[in-house]
Amino acid sequence: MLASLQRYWREMKTSNGNTSIMDMFEKGKVLKICAPMVRYSKLAFRSLVRKYNCDICFTPMIVAADFMRSVKARDSEFTTNESDRPLIVQFASHDAQTLADAACVVAPFSDGVDLNCGCPQRWAMSAGYGACLINKPELVKDMVRHIRNQVDNPNYTASIKIRIHKDLRRTVDLCQKAESAGASWITVHGRTAEERHQPVHYDAIKTIKDSVSIPVIANGDIKYLRDVESTHQLTGVDGVMAARGLLANPAMFTGYEDTPLECIWDWVDISIEQGTPFTCFHHHLIYMLERVSSQPERKVFNSLSSTSAVIDYLQNTYGSVDDLGS
């Protein structure tokens, strides 16, 4: 994998330094972004959503210390190809130099890095990663500054993804400190670290957007294309990020209410072409078919245990792409 990345780097060196993802933030346009999702926002899924109007994709969260410690971790955690752009690599870290080192490794193959300050899982918080960082604004500021100072490409972005505090003044302070350190943009999941399925605090996202001059991305409960526009209207954000909505329907950003058959077969083709492990291939299809299949159908589909069985099932139940025109 590393050899192919190095070859890719040589090819990219001439063009990559001259373009910036920041040029995509145009007034009036709302960027549509695939969220970092552990196990799910890997290369094959990013390849799929890019076919359906997704502007920017994030990798799953990668623990920067593990990434720097082990070649095996680097090869398994970070895979990309020539068409996998624009790409943001998300890291979990609590050490500025480790984060900057990791950013320097991935910089030739990506458009920016993002610091996870939003993961509410207990293991991440106890290790000093994720949402506990929203309570350490000086550390976040230092980490952003280290990326800015050490990645040798002025167009490379450094962003943060956060959750909000109950006392929003603390969140505004965090965001303003990150901006002063050189953060390119901020993604705001409009819930506190303790909240899971409670309604998104759109008023909080709007307050943050009004408090900084860099772009702000809204995250939380984006399930249909109409949610993109309504979130923009409520908050004035520059983009929206979807996670579960895209898992359920990777074609969501094109306006489909449910996953179209064409998208399902695109996933089959991409998975076969890229050698996606069966469990991952199958899990994505379980998500995609959930809203369009009955419980008995789901029970049968979920029990399938080989790629050929899945393809036969899809063919027999839904038909092929060729059948769409007939």
The residues annotated as belonging to the active site are 119
Pick from 120, 112, 126: nearest CA to 156:
112
Q: Is 243 annotated as a binding residue?
A: yes
Q: Is 133 helix (H, G, I), strand (E, B) or coil?
A: helix
Say whether 90 counts as a known binding-site residue.
yes
Residue type, 73: A
Is 36 within any annotated ligand binding site?
Answer: yes
Is residue 37 marked as binding?
yes
Give the 3-state secondary structure of residue 57. strand
Q: Answer yes or no: are the C-beta atoms of 247 and 284 closer than 8 Å.
A: yes
Of how many residues is the chain composed?
Answer: 326
CA 58 – CA 271 distance, rounded (Å):
18
For residues 264 and 252, what is the distance between their CA atoms, to the nearest angstrom? 13
115 and 144 in contact (C-beta within 8 Å)? yes
Rounded Cα distance between 169 and 171, Å, is 5
Residues at the annotated binding site?
A: 36-38, 90, 189, 243-244
Residues at the annotated binding site for FMN?
A: 36-38, 90, 189, 243-244
